[in-house]
């Protein structure tokens, strides 16, 4: 079942008008919290949004995208990604549930940090990524669809202000019942991504 989920999971961008229960969300979060983490620090925190609270969150997301469009930007080299972020916002509005994910051991990615802190941050980001992947795979097992979202970066300051946190906002996961069955997107061949330095025997 786990192997099937790995190969059949898809990023979902169309959701049914159908609710997801708190019990289902807790199953996903338990799966996320079972992920491995560097030094067992378990740096993840989940904030679950639905209904009016989700709409309030997304109003802040929209405000951030409008600020970026006006050139008041934290990401001047990534302006090409703003149209895609608007599409992500549309998807987030359609999904019944959003899970915002924080790295509780790190602060804003726009602040400078020393070498030791940077390495620790990388390790914790890997841990958070493993937790999110567990959530996506468990959702697939449960017949739910998900979209792993990083476009929150364009509204970073508005979102963390709304969340009232100084912890690092890593991203979000949209959750709902899928209203599409997209094909698998192209994957690179192993010959393109693997280099063997291996000796048999």
pLDDT digits (tens, 9 = 90+) for 71-87: 999 999 999 999 999 99
Q: Which two tokens stand for residue 181?
A: 């069955």
| Average pLDDT of the chain, as a whole number | 97
The confidence score (pLDDT) of residue 200 equals: 85
Q: Enter the DSSP assignment of 151.
A: G
Q: Is the pLDDT of residue 1 over 60?
A: no
Residue 171 pLDDT class (50, 70, 90 cuts) = very high
Where in the chain are the domains? 2-193
Q: Which two tokens stand for residue 161?
A: 């202000």
Residue 177 in contact with residue 143, Cβ under 8 Å?
yes
Q: Enter the DSSP assignment of 109.
A: T
Helix axes 115-141, 22-33, angle to 10 degrees: 130
Residue 134, SS3? helix
Residue 2 pLDDT class (50, 70, 90 cuts) = confident
CA 17 from chain centre, in angstroms, equals: 22
CATH superfamily of 2-193: NADH Oxidase (3.40.109.10)
pLDDT digits (tens, 9 = 90+) for 93-137: 999 999 999 999 999 999 999 999 999 999 999 999 999 999 999
């Amino acid at each position: 079942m786990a192997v099937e989920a790995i190969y059949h999971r898809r990023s979902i961008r169309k959701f049914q008008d159908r609710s997801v229960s708190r019990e289902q969300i807790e199953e996903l979060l338990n799966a996320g919290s079972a992920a491995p983490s560097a030094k067992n620090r378990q740096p993840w925190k989940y904030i679950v949004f639905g209904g009016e609270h989700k709409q309030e969150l997304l109003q802040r997301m929209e405000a951030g995208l409008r600020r970026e469009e006006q050139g008041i930007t934290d990401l001047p080299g990534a302006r090409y990604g703003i149209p895609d972020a608007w599409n992500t916002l549309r998807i987030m509005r359609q999904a019944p549930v959003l899970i915002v994910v924080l790295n509780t051991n790190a602060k804003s990615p726009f602040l400078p940090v020393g070498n030791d802190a940077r390495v620790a941050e990388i390790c914790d980001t890997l841990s958070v990524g493993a937790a999110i992947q567990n959530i996506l795979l468990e959702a697939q097992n449960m017949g739910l669809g998900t979209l792993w979202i990083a476009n929150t970066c364009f509204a970073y300051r508005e979102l963390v202000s709304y969340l009232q946190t100084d912890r690092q906002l890593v991203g979000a996961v949209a959750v709902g019942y899928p209203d599409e069955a997209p094909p698998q997107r192209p994957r690179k061949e192993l010959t393109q991504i693997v280099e063997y330095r291996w000796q048999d025997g």
